[in-house]
């Protein structure tokens, strides 16, 4: 919960108490006082486009978990990416969990801090068996992998954070 402040309504002259804004992006919030979020940072949703994180709110086409790597469907929905034969390359990731139909915040660059079990400095690739997941070993160019997509996703910074640097996938 953000701190509150006193506000004087210009049309009525009444003074009321309001809570400071921590997230935003709508014209109705023009003039609001900004507060830091629970993480002690300014939300990227209140910054102008092109400043801060490259984030977009899109509807989830399926249930998503924090840390999932995703793609955008032709219908504009976000779904989990996969290196499988029928899969689609990762173009972003989510940091929170979302149910189908909910508006999901998709990050197109930056650090995915929704992961666990990583090895600092190791390279990671899009998984062909875990939708939205990653693997530490690149897919081999073998008969069993024909048609799968080899895609470098990024490098681990520590055990829970990966620098997202997706490469163009190579179809095996």
pLDDT(81) > 90: yes
CA dihedral 71, 74, 75, 78 (to 10 degrees): 0
Q: Six-digit token pair at 54?
A: 């490259």
The residue that leads in pLDDT, 151 or 50, is 151
Predicted structure pTM score: 0.74
Percent of the chain beyond pLDDT 70? 97
Q: What is the pLDDT of residue 164?
A: 97
pLDDT digits (tens, 9 = 90+) for 102-145: 999 999 999 999 999 999 999 999 999 999 999 999 988 888 88
Residues 149-153: what's their mean pLDDT? Answer: 95
Q: What is the pLDDT of residue 109?
A: 92
Entry field: residues in the chain: 172
Alpha helices in 25-168 (DSSP H): none
Q: What is the pLDDT of residue 24?
A: 72
Q: What is the pLDDT of residue 7?
A: 85
Q: What is the pLDDT of residue 25?
A: 64
Q: What is the pLDDT of residue 1?
A: 67
Q: What is the pLDDT of residue 155?
A: 97
pLDDT digits (tens, 9 = 90+) for 19-76: 888 877 667 777 788 888 777 888 777 777 677 678 889 999 999 999 999 999 999 9
């Amino acid at each position: 919960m953000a701190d509150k402040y006193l506000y004087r309504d210009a049309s009525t002259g009444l003074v009321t108490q309001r809570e400071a804004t921590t997230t935003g992006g709508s014209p109705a919030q023009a003039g609001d006082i900004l507060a830091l979020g629970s993480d002690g940072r300014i939300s990227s949703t209140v910054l102008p486009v092109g400043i801060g994180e490259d984030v977009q709110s899109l509807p989830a086409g399926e249930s998503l978990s924090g840390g999932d790597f995703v793609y955008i469907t032709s219908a504009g929905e976000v779904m989990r990416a996969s290196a499988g034969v029928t899969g689609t390359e990762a173009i972003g990731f989510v940091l929170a969990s979302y149910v189908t139909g909910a508006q999901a915040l998709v990050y197109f660059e930056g650090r995915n801090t929704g992961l666990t079990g990583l090895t600092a400095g190791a390279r990671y690739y899009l998984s062909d068996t875990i939708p939205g997941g990653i693997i530490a070993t690149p897919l081999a160019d073998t008969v069993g992998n024909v048609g799968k997509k080899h895609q470098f996703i990024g490098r681990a910074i520590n055990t829970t954070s990966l620098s997202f640097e997706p490469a163009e996938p190579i179809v095996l």
